[in-house]
């Protein structure tokens, strides 16, 4: 692989659990050198989280292992004088400082943005919080489920009878982490022109509402409040989950030609000429009746067979898989999406982690090293500092 795009970028990562570590994992996959600063003896809370109690007890919980491969771990207590000196030296040589404390916590430790800027004028500092650094909610505690509820996301998840429902994974944490990673990479590019750093204030609430796309814009632009539609796509029909002989099948016949192909393949060409279904808006209005007709036809064959037939005809269709089924898809294997690493405890047990979903010059962005044990790189701090200082001198002396 060619040198990765963020090679040489040095990230000081003070984050815990999900949004922040997910952000720094993306930066690491893009080539950045990430050093986790962890509380001595305790570390990232994610070390104790996951479905395997034994791993949690040993400080390498599944939640931690999922998004900390390729990083280094040093233990520093920012309330201790000697550790503060080491921390400030690292800040002075870093490119990026990433934190997800509650708004104002880092400042109370003596490291507000003016102080960080004084230590390193070229530093890019990124703060991820639930609601941002300012505003009436800035001090409110926030976890993913809180943001899901406040964003309106839960109100449109489920059906009229079951909503509000939580999305089945911490989507707002992931969105917040991705928004932060995007902002950091943009700031790195801007600094190449200006030579100065900046402070990035990432709000998980705002990033999540932004990611909801048309669900929000239909209200902001058209004045139509969105409603929960379950497994149906409110913007098109037939588009949603349908019945087959052996299980559910997703079909998204969002274009006229896709609808007509669907009708031909399931042997219901009469639906193309039915006045209720002939046009897009009519199909949306009469969605329930159309779904009933299609379900009757689709129940004649298994989901995998319909998936094959419809996909070949250009109609988006696929089975609904479990997570164990999804991660074993041949498509993911073909693209090298899942990487196998050794467990950090030296047990020889394989550890499978995911990449970013991006091929860089045709190759997947994957970690080269397993997640670190707590404080694994404590003794390497002097060497690390020397390396970072040298790299900073080269960077400062490089022509624009």
Domain count, the chain: 2
Q: Is 400 exposed, middle or buried (0-12, 13-18, 19+ CB in 10 A)?
A: exposed
User: In this predicted model, what pLDDT tens digit does every residue of 236-294 receive, in sequence order?
Assistant: 999 999 999 999 999 999 999 999 999 999 999 999 999 999 999 999 999 999 999 99
Residue 102 and residue 19 in one domain: yes
Place of tokens 């404080």: 375
Whether residue 234 is contained in a domain is answered as no
Residue 191 and residue 73 in one domain: yes
Whether residue 123 is contained in a domain is answered as yes
Residues 6+ apart with CB under 8 A from 193: 400
Whether residue 98 is contained in a domain is answered as yes
> What's the confidence (pLDDT) of residue 1?
60
Whether residue 280 is contained in a domain is answered as yes
What's the domain range around 78? 10-212+330-397
Selection from 357, 374, 388, 398 nearest residue 16 by Cα: 374
Q: Which residues pair with 99 in a beta bridge?
A: 127
Q: Is the pLDDT of residue 398 over 60?
A: no
Euclidean distance between CA atoms 200 and 30, whole angstroms: 19
Q: How far is CA 202 from CA 14, 23, 103, 206, in A?
A: 15, 11, 11, 8
Q: Which of 261, 292, 319 is the last residue of a domain?
A: 319
Catalytic residues: 173
Arithmetic mean of pLDDT, 47-76 = 97
Q: Which residues pair with 34 in a beta bridge?
A: 11
Q: How far is CA 384 from CA 33, 86, 121, 377, in A?
A: 11, 11, 20, 9
Residue 139 and residue 272 in one domain: no
Q: In which band, very low, low, confident or very high, does the pLDDT at 395 lie, cut at 50, 70 and 90? A: confident
Maximum CA extent, the chain? 79
Whether residue 231 is contained in a domain is answered as no
Q: Which of 298, 319, 340 is the last residue of a domain?
A: 319
Residue 314 and residue 334 in one domain: no
> What's the confidence (pLDDT) of residue 400?
41
Q: How far is CA 357 from CA 17, 74, 169, 216, 347, in A?
A: 21, 29, 18, 26, 28
Q: Is the pLDDT of residue 2 over 90?
A: no
Q: Which of 319, 350, 370 is the last residue of a domain?
A: 319
> What's the confidence (pLDDT) of residue 396?
73
Euclidean distance between CA atoms 251 and 380, whole angstroms: 54
Euclidean distance between CA atoms 309 and 313, whole angstroms: 7
Residue 205 and residue 253 in one domain: no
Whether residue 269 is contained in a domain is answered as yes
Residue 193 and residue 305 in one domain: no
Q: Is the pLDDT of residue 311 over 50?
A: yes
Residue 61 and residue 97 in one domain: yes
Whether residue 207 is contained in a domain is answered as yes
Q: Is the pLDDT of residue 79 over 80?
A: yes
What tokens were used for 357?
């979903």
Virtual torsion, Cα 146, 150, 151, 155, nearest 10 deg? 100
Question: In the chain, pLDDT over 90 holds for what percent of residues?
Answer: 95
Q: Is the pLDDT of residue 399 over 50?
A: no
CATH of residue 298 = 3.30.1540.10
Q: In which band, very low, low, confident or very high, does the pLDDT at 333 lie, cut at 50, 70 and 90? A: very high
Residue 202 and residue 347 in one domain: yes
Residue 66 and residue 156 in one domain: yes
Residue 309 and residue 338 in one domain: no
CATH of residue 348 = 3.40.50.10540
Residue 336 and residue 310 in one domain: no
> What's the confidence (pLDDT) of residue 270?
97
Selection from 210, 19, 203, 207 nearest residue 103 by Cα: 203
The stretches of the chain forming alpha helices (DSSP H) are 19-29, 53-57, 62-67, 81-93, 105-108, 113-119, 144-151, 171-194, 204-211, 214-222, 256-265, 270-273, 280-285, 287-298, 303-312, 323-326, 330-334, 381-397
Whether residue 221 is contained in a domain is answered as no
- Beta strand 317-319 with 248-252 is antiparallel
Residue 48 and residue 162 in one domain: yes
Q: In which band, very low, low, confident or very high, does the pLDDT at 397 lie, cut at 50, 70 and 90? A: low
């Amino acid at each position: 692989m060619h040198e990765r795009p963020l090679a040489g970028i040095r990230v000081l990562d003070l984050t815990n659990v999900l949004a922040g570590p997910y952000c720094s994992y993306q930066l690491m996959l893009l080539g950045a050198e990430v050093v986790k600063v962890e509380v001595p003896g305790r570390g990232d809370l994610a070390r104790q989280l996951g479905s395997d109690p034994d791993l949690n007890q040993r400080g390498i919980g599944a939640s931690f292992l999922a998004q900390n491969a390729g990083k280094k771990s040093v233990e520093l207590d920012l309330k201790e004088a000697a550790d503060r000196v080491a921390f400030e030296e690292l800040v002075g040589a870093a490119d990026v400082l990433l934190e997800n404390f509650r708004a104002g916590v880092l400042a109370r430790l003596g490291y507000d943005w003016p102080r960080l800027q004084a230590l390193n004028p070229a530093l890019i500092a990124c703060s991820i919080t639930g609601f941002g650094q300012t505003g009436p909610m800035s001090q409110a505690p926030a976890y993913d489920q809180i943001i899901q509820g406040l964003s309106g996301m839960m109100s449109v998840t489920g059906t009229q009878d079951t909503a509000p429902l939580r999305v089945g994974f911490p989507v707002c944490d992931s969105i917040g982490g991705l928004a932060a990673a995007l902002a950091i990479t943009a700031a790195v590019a801007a600094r190449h022109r200006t030579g100065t750093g900046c402070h990035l204030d990432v709000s998980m609430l705002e990033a999540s509402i932004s990611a909801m796309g048309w669900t929000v814009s239909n209200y902001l632009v058209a004045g139509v409040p969105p409603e929960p539609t379950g497994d149906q796509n409110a913007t098109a029909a037939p588009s949603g989950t349908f019945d087959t002989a052996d299980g559910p099948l997703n079909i998204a016949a969002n274009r006229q030609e896709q609808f007509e192909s669907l009708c031909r393949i399931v042997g219901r060409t009469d639906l193309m000429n039915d006045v209720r279904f002939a046009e897009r808006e009519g199909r949306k209005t009469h969605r329930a009746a159309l779904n009933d007709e299609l379900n009757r036809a689709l129940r004649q064959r298994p989901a995998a067979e319909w998936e094959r037939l419809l996909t070949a005809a250009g109609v988006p269709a696929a089975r609904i898989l479990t997570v164990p089924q999804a991660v074993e898809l041949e498509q993911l294997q073909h693209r090298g999406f899942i990487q196998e690493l050794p467990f950090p405890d030296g047990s020889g047990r394989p550890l499978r982690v995911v990449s970013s979903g991006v091929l860089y010059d045709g190759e997947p962005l994957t970690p080269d090293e397993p997640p670190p044990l707590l404080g694994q790189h404590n003794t390497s701090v002097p060497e690390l500092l020397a390396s970072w200082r040298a790299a900073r001198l080269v960077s400062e002396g490089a022509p624009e």
